[in-house]
Amino acid sequence: MTVINFNDIALTDAERQPCEIWTRVMGYHRPVSEFNKGKKSEYYSRKCFTEEKAVSHLDYNTADCACAAE
């Protein structure tokens, strides 16, 4: 059995495979590389949603919250 030590493998940027990023926009999936300038800007300014962050920032006693008025 051959053991490969991945720490010994070094690639130059020319040897690396570029990663193509796809995302859903306007109801279908497209590669980000094909977006126009404005849509790319919008994509890169997006913030990733995580449930933990959303739940930790909830304040149910806030009058500004739409659900507090119910």
pLDDT in tens, 14-61: 888 888 988 887 788 889 999 999 989 988 898 877 888 777 766 555
pLDDT of the residue at 53:
74
**30 C-beta neighbours (distance < 10 Å), count:** 13
25's enclosing H/E stretch is: strand 22-25
**Residue 54 pLDDT:** 73
Alpha-carbon gap, residue 31 to 1, rounded angstroms: 40
Q: How confident is the model at residue 65 (pLDDT cuts 50, 70, 90)?
A: very low
Task: Name every residue whose Cβ is closer than 8 Å to that of residue 68 and which is 6 or more positions away in sequence.
Answer: 60, 61, 62
Amino acid identity of 16? R
Which pTM was predicted? 0.44
Contact 23, 43 (CB under 8 A): yes
